[in-house]
Structure 1
Amino acid sequence: MNLTRFEQFWLAEHQRLRDITDPQLQQAQFKFSEVSAATPQAQLLQRAVRLSERQGVLTQLRHWQQLRRLLSVIFALLALLAGIGTSQAVLSQPQPISLLFAVSLLLLPNLLLFVFWVVFALRRPRPTGVTGVAYTLLTLLQRKRGEGALEQSWLNHVQQQRLLQPLMALTTHGFWLLLSSAAWLTLIIYLSFNDYSFQWATTILVTDQVQGIAQLINSVPNLLFAATLPPVTDSAATLTDANAAGRWLTLCVLTYGVLPRALAAFGALLLLVWRSQQMQLPVQLEGHAAVVQAIAHAQQRGTTVDADSGDGRARPRFQYATHGSGHYTVSMDYEADPHATVSDDYLGVVASYADKQALVTRFTAVPSAQLQVRIAAQLTPDRSSLRYLAQLAATTQQLTVVLVRGQQATYLTQWQQQLDQYGVDYVVA
């Protein structure tokens, strides 16, 4: 089963919740040494996908996606039927049809719910409105199949990655866009092939009040499409230019019904795509942190202590930059203490060769005044690590190594001896 990036992150969150509940069972079903990925995030994603295959979670996820697509089709059909029915309800009124009544029925519910969404829905931490109804139905169907655990992990995932608001917006505005578009197209079709008459009908409003309301409604269509307002006459009089009244009504539906929802849905889609591309696993959370440390320990036990195949007699030379600006902190290979408090200038973890060289290139171009390198004391002080530290030393005025004990400090003494030998400042955390 080909998984999207969203689904992989979703499975990682699902697995994190399982690790918290029963870590021994999860470790028994999957050995940490089986992970081959390089970065902590890739390791967590790889482990989550493989465990999901063994535990049958991928089958549950496939059922979830099938139900989601089915509900999407059902809601889309409901929106289309509602839009068609709204236009038919307006045009089935005894003629001449009241323009005020037609505008109110076609536009007022949509506009009121749009305002309600802006004021209330964006502040909710859970799905609401059309999204809430769909989410509730999907959750109930999943729980009947005994697959309710995916629901909580999905909600946690979209909240962590700030995807809930754009997802809610896209679903809600997509539903109303279909409804408004169906109403608009139905209106155009009926007005194109049938003869209708219109009037400015009212019982309690005077002509001046109707004129003011009509001009207010026409302000935006006139601005966008140069729409001409049908002349406001006595409420008992039928408009002589039914063609102009029909065109004006369709332009009002397009302006106040279709366009706002289309723009909102498009904006939500752009935000959703952008945030999906920016997704990062919070490896410091409970469950993730323990797995990352266990994987690092398993890989360290199964690898050679010194993988540097270079000339053992070549000693790294620690020479420092003569100028620099800024204080920065970086973790080498992985962060052993996920609860550590770091400064605002923390640059994250550099694990791959490309990341390490990119960091050297950055500071070579703009040297720093001080650079702290956090190193897990359970990693071996091999020649390649010391050479990399020497490369970083050349890009900063002051290099400080922070030896992080973590859960194990197997090589703390060896690190201290090596750093003392080269005269590198260090602290033990």
Structure 2
Amino acid sequence: MDLSRFEQFWLAEHQRLRDVRDPSLQQQQFKLNEIRAHGPQNQLIERAVCLSERQGLLNQLSHWQHLRRLLTLVLGVLAVVIGMGVSQTILSQPQPLSLLFAINILLLPNLLMLLFWLAFTLRKPRPSGITGVAYSLLTLLQRKRGESALEQSWLAHVQQQRLLQPLMAVATHGFWLLIAISSWLTLILYLSFNDYTFQWATTILNAEQVATIAHAINGLPHFLFSAQVPTIADSATNTTIAAQAGRWLALCLMTYGVLPRALAALLAVGLFYRRAHAMELDLQAEGYHAVVNALGESRQQTNTVDADTDSDTAIHFHYADHGHGSYLLTLDYEAEPEYTTSAEQLGLVATYADKQHMLQRLSANPSAQLQVRVAAQLTPDRSSIQYLAALAQTTQQLTVVLVRGSQATYLAQWQQQLDRYGVAYVVA
């Protein structure tokens, strides 16, 4: 099963909660020396995914996602039906139709719910509104299957990563956006193929008051679409030009119903993906800290750092004959995210694709000086040394910066390996 980044972090939080409830699970369920990932965060995620596979948790997660998609479809259909029903209710009234009545029914509920969302929903730390309904249904269905722990870890995860509010916003604005769009399309369809008459109907307002309200409503549609207020007669029983009134009604619904919800939904989606991309595990959190320490101890007990350490001729460091500029990059894991330098920073290279892209970039433009930051809590395995040797060919001077960070488990091994190949290094 291919897991998204969100799901991997979710499983890591789920496993953390399990470890907190039963600390004995931290080392008994999984051999820590089986973990191959670099960096504490990647190691915790790999451990959580492997344990989930062994415990059958991935099937529960798949079931959760299936239910989520099903509920999304049901709520989407419900929103479309509501939107169609609103327009049909207005157009089924005895003619001539009241423009004031139509505007109120089409726009007022949407705008009021938008104001309530701005005033109250953003402050709540738990799912509410449409998100709360969906979450409650998911929780109920999961508990019937004995899988309530998964929804608890989901809530803890989205709260910690500040994803709950954008998720709630996406669900809320998406629901009301579907209502507005379906209502607008239904209105356009009926007005295109049926003959309707409209009037500014009122019982207690005079013509001047109706005109004031109409021009106030028309302010934004006129600015966006150059919409004109339908002709206002002194008598409430006189009808306006039907085509002008119909177009004006549709433009008002687009302006105050569709566009605000569409903009809010897009902003919410953008915020969600931005925060999801920036997700980080709190390595000091209860449950994580103990496992990270256990991983360090497990690796420190391993005597053989690299299977080919006796092969002196396997790796050679050759340097470029020329180069310009001073650059700095971080290999695999940045132990000090706040670090700054005067050299041009090339960022973090962790994946195979990133490493190959960086080699191509530096090979095309060799540098005079290249600093490579390495976390001393990572093992100096053969692939890392080989990559440093490849980087050496792109620069006149290579310097490895060994970063102690919170743990310097393999500092001595790194120093031994770099001395062995004659690579300059400093300890930070």
Deviates more, 1:217-226 or 1:101-110: 217-226
Query: Which residue does 1:260 correspond to in 2?
Result: 260
Aligned 8 A contact 2:376 2:408 in 1 = no
Contact 2:83/2:179 (CA < 8 Å) preserved in 1?
yes
Shift of 1:133: 1.8
Aligned counterparts of 2:236 and 2:42: Cα–Cα separation in 1: 72
Q: For residue 154 of structure 1, what is the amino acid of its counterpart?
A: W
Partner of 2:144: 144
Q: Go from structure 1 to structure 2 and tell me whether the alpha carbon gap of 1:6 and 1:191 turns closer, same or farther (over 3 Å shift).
A: same
Name 2:204's counterpart in structure 1. 204
Q: What does residue 320 of structure 2 align with?
A: none
Q: Pick closer, same or farther for the CA change 1:401–1:43 going to 2, 3 Å.
A: closer
TM-aligned CA deviation for residue 75 of structure 1: 0.9
The answer to whether the 8 Å contact 1:200/1:234 transfers is: no
Tell me the residue number matched to 2:5.
Answer: 5
Q: CA distance change for structure 1 residues 404 and 161 in 2, over 3 Å: closer, same or farther?
A: closer
Query: What's the CA shift string for 1:261-282, capped at 9, x where partnerless?
Result: 1222222223333333x24432
The aligned counterpart of 2:85 is 85
Q: Aligned equivalents of 1:165 and 1:156: distance in 2?
A: 13
- 2:305 counterpart residue number: 304
Q: Is the 8 A contact 1:33 1:295 kept in 2?
A: yes
Alpha-carbon contact 1:100-1:201 (below 8 Å) kept: yes
3-state SS in 2 of match to 1:231: coil
Match of 1:228 in 2: 228
Contact kept? 1:405, 1:412, Cα under 8 Å: no
Q: CA deviation at 1:149?
A: 1.2
Contact 1:199 1:236 in 2 (8 A): yes
Confirm or deny that 1:157 pairs with 2:157.
yes
- Taking a change above 3 Å as real, the CA distance of residues 104 and 402 of structure 1, as seen in their structure-2 partners, is closer
Residues 180 and 253, structure 1, Cα contact 8 Å, conserved in 2: yes
Deviation digits for residues 377-417 of structure 1, max 9, x if unmatched? Answer: x97899x98x97xx9xx989x999776795989x879979x
- With structure 2 as the length reference, what TM-score do the two structures score? 0.77
Q: Map Cα deviations across residues 28-76 of structure 1 (whole Å, 9 max, x no partner).
A: 2211122222343332222211211111211211221121112112211
CA distance in 2, matches of 1:190, 1:380: 71
Work out the CA distance in 1 between the residues paired with 2:21 and 2:397.
Answer: 45
Per the TM alignment, residue 243 of structure 1 is displaced from its structure 2 partner at its CA by 2.0
Alpha-carbon distance in 1 for matches of 2:165, 2:414: 50
Give 1:96 deviation, angstroms.
1.7
1:38 is paired with a residue of what secondary structure?
Answer: coil
Q: 1:213 offset after TM fit, Å?
A: 0.9
Deviates more, 1:106-115 or 1:300-309: 300-309
Q: Supply the distance in 2 between the matched residues of 1:181 and 1:352 (Cα, whole angstroms).
A: 43
TM-score by length of 1: 0.76
Q: Tell me the equivalent position of 1:319.
A: none
Cα distance in 1 for partners of 2:425, 2:64 equals 54
What CA deviation, in whole Å up to 9, does each residue of 1:69-120 have, x standing for no partner? 1211221121112111111221222222211111011001101111222333
Q: 1:238 to 1:309 in 2, by over 3 A?
A: farther
Q: Which residue of 2 aligns with 1:375?
A: 376
CA distance in 1, matches of 2:376, 2:39: 15
Distance 1:49 1:404, change over 3 A: closer
Going from structure 1 to structure 2, the CA distance change for 1:67 and 1:371 (only over 3 Å counts) comes to: closer
Pair 333,95 (structure 1): closer, same or farther in 2 beyond 3 Å: closer
* Counterpart in the other structure of 1:281: 280
Q: Which amino acid aligns with 1:103?
A: I
Query: Any unmatched runs of 5+ in structure 1?
Result: 317-323
**Shift in Å, 1:140:** 2.3
2:283 is aligned with what amino acid? Q
Give the deviation of 1:138 after TM superposition.
1.6
Q: Matched residue of 2:294: which SS?
A: helix
User: Match for 1:303: what amino acid?
Assistant: T
Q: What is the deviation of 1:227?
A: 1.8
Cα distance change, pair 164–198 in 1 and its aligned pair in 2 (3 A): same
- 2:201 and 2:77 mapped to 1: Cα distance? 33
Structure 1 residue 334: Cα displacement:
6.8
- Amino acid across the alignment from 1:71: L
Aligned-partner SS, 1:284:
coil
CA offset at residue 172 of structure 1? 0.9
State yes or no: 1:120 paired with 2:128.
no
- SS at 1:138 equivalent: helix
Q: CA deviation at 1:349?
A: 8.8
Deviation at 1:14, TM superposition (A): 0.9
Please list every run of 5 or more consecutive structure 2 residues that lacks an aligned counterpart in the other structure: 318-324
The residue identity in structure 2 corresponding to 1:282 is L
Instruction: Measure, in 2, the Cα distance between the counterparts of 1:343 and 1:82.
Output: 54
Match of residue 187 from structure 2: 187
Relative to structure 1, is the Cα distance of residues 95 and 296 closer, same or farther in structure 2, using a 3 angstrom cutoff? same
Q: Is the 8 A contact 1:40 1:283 kept in 2?
A: no
| Distance in 2 (alpha carbons) for counterparts of 1:182 and 1:356 | 49
1:270-314 CA distance string (max 9 Å, x none): 3333333x24432523323332333344344163378545649x9
Distance (Å, rounded) in 2 between the aligned partners of 1:16 and 1:299 = 21
Q: Which residue of 1 aligns with 2:322?
A: none
Question: Whole-Å Cα distance in 1 between the matches of residues 20 and 203 of structure 2?
Answer: 67
Q: Distance in 2 between matches of 1:414 and 1:49?
A: 29
How do residues 36-115 of structure 1 correspond to structure 2 at under 5 angstroms?
36-115=36-115
> Using the alignment, how far apart are the partners of 2:368 and 2:105 within structure 1?
63
1:156 Cα deviation (Å)? Answer: 2.4
1:294 equivalent in structure 2:
294
**CA–CA separation in structure 1 for the residues paired with 2:188 and 2:413:** 81
Q: Please state how far the C-alpha of 1:190 moved relative to its aligned partner.
A: 2.1
- CA distance, structure 2, for counterparts of residue 108 and residue 206 of structure 1: 22
Contact 2:222 2:228 in 1 (8 A): yes
- 1:329 touches 1:347 (CA, 8 Å); kept in 2? yes
Q: SS of the residue aligned with 2:376?
A: strand
Percentage identity across paired residues of the two chains: 54
CA apart distance, 1:195 = 2.5
Partner of 2:25: 25
